[in-house]
Structure formats: structure tokens, C-alpha cells
């Protein structure tokens, strides 16, 4: 398995897609029930293959990631060959970016001495999708990129 198995909830959400996946292998519901009952290792393999297929699709389409913590915000733009980042750090320890008030504080103090900003870019050390997956397993979430684009636009002008 290349990534990680989808959760029970994710499989439930993707029930129709999983049915189509099994159908593409000429496995109907009756046969799937037999496989689960009599060949659990085969069923496990099918779940893993399907999970990897879903992850590949999601990761291939991932363009932006965000990771918020109490005093840091990591914004990533995932391009084909490299990943660009904007890291914002509050130098005021009591500010909490996980709250609405903390984000308002950031908005008010973005370009002051209270906020440290670092820009970076790096070529992928590994396959692009695997690098993105690793960021997700560390807490990053997929994003529409609005915050990255907004801050990058201000920096560039």
C-alpha cells in the first residue's frame, strides 16, 4: 500500500465509487460478500488498492495546503516540480491562530514586527504526490489557496 487505507467513514462516503471499482473487476455484491467472508486477505487487498486510487486522484489535483497551529501558519503551493511555502509566525506568544480572534490579530498585524514571515521553495525530495501526502499526515489540509494567493499577491506587489 502506497498511502493509507481510507477510514470507514470515507468508504461509506465513497460507496458508489467503490461499487464501480469492484464492478470494473467483474465483482458483484454477492461475490464481494463471499470474498469478505472466505478470503479476507483478498478483501483487504481490494480495500487497499481502492484507497490508493482515491489518494492518487486527490493528491494529483492538490494545488494548495494549509497547516495552522497556535503560533504558526504554513501555506503551501504545490506545483509540478516544486513546492512553495509561506510561513507566518506570531512573535506574541499569547496569540492563537486557531481562534477567530487570533486570525483577526494576524490580519491587523501581518506586516508588523509582531509577525515573522518566511518564503521558501523546494524541489520535491520524493514523488510529488507522496510529498503532499506526507504533509497531510503531518496535519496539513487541502485548501482552495485563497490565503496563499492573497498573501503572495501582497508580497509580490
Instruction: Write out pLDDT tens, residues 6-27.
Output: 999 999 999 999 999 999 989 9
Distance spanning both ends of the chain, measured CA to CA? 44
Mutual orientation of helices 40-60 and 128-137 as an angle, nearest 10°?
100
Measured CA distances, 17 to 45, 97, 115 (Å): 16, 37, 45
Instruction: Write out pLDDT tens, residues 87-105.
Output: 999 999 999 999 999 999 9
Instruction: Write out pLDDT tens, residues 132-145.
Output: 999 999 999 999 99
Average pLDDT over residues 104-132: 94
Global confidence as pTM: 0.86
Taking the domains of the chain in order of start, what are their residue ranges? Answer: 8-60, 64-156
DSSP symbol at 63: -
What is the SS3 assignment for 125?
coil
Q: How far apart are CA 33 and CA 30, in angstroms?
A: 5
pLDDT at 157 over 80: no
Instruction: Output the pLDDT for position 37.
Output: 94
Amino acid at each position: 500500500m502506497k498511502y493509507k487505507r481510507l477510514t470507514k467513514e470515507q468508504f461509506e462516503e465513497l460507496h458508489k465509487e467503490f461499487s464501480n471499482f469492484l464492478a470494473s473487476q467483474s465483482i458483484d455484491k454477492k461475490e464481494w460478500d463471499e470474498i469478505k467472508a472466505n478470503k479476507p486477505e483478498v478483501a483487504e487487498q481490494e480495500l487497499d488498492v481502492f484507497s490508493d486510487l482515491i489518494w492518487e486522484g486527490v493528491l494529483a489535483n492538490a494545488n494548495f495546503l494549509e497547516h495552522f497551529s497556535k503560533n504558526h501558519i504554513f501555506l503551501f503551493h504545490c506545483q509540478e516540480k516544486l513546492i512553495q511555502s509561506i510561513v507566518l509566525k506570531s512573535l506574541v506568544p499569547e496569540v492563537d491562530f486557531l481562534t477567530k480572534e487570533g486570525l483577526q490579530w494576524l490580519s491587523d498585524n501581518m506586516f508588523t514586527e509582531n509577525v515573522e514571515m518566511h518564503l521558501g521553495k523546494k524541489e520535491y525530495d520524493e514523488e510529488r504526490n507522496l510529498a503532499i501526502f506526507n504533509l497531510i499526515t503531518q496535519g496539513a489540509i487541502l485548501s482552495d489557496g485563497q490565503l496563499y494567493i492573497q498573501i503572495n499577491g501582497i508580497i509580490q506587489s
